[in-house]
Amino acid sequence: MAAYCTRPAGSPPAIEVIIEQVHDIPVARVRGEIDLATRLRFAEPVLNELASRPGELIVDLTDVGFLGSAGIVVLVQAHRHAEQNQVGLHLVASPTVLRVLDIAGVTTLFTIRGSVTEAISHITARRPVPRRAAEEEQLVGDW
């Protein structure tokens, strides 16, 4: 099996972080490799999003091909920022990334889900039902 790299020799590994809203929940979708060379391009958007106190943040690592120790440090920093800002931090991780997090001993810091859909379902199930909607639900139930 051959491995092919589309980046020029000597250039840093590619990383892309896109923050999008899914059901009013910010999702940071990360693609590429997270190592010493890319850690700042990973950290900046994630930490900035946490600083805005969104209530919940999902970091999707399913398209991360490599997670080095520098990436783990950023995730631990994100955990600390989330706690300080009272933000629920949820990770979506591939088996490869999950294994790295487990070996590093940091899995207990995070809520880890198998997919973004699963994370969103978990978050929305915990949200309180608005009072008016709850009252309408009760009226419908009385019929």
Q: pLDDT tens digits for 25-46? A: 999 999 999 999 999 999 999 9
- Options 3.40.50.2300, 3.40.50.300, 3.40.50.720, 3.30.750.24; CATH for 15-127 is 3.30.750.24
Q: In sequence order, which ranges of the chain are alpha helices (DSSP H)?
A: 39-51, 69-84, 95-104, 116-126, 131-142
Mean of the pLDDT values across residues 83-88? 95
Q: What is the Cα–Cα distance from 57 to 46, expressed in whole angstroms?
A: 9
Q: Are 54 and 84 in contact (CB under 8 A)?
A: no
What was the pLDDT predicted at 126? 80
Per-domain boundaries in the chain: 15-127
pLDDT of residue 4: 32
Check if the beta carbon of residue 12 is closer than 8 Å to that of residue 5: no
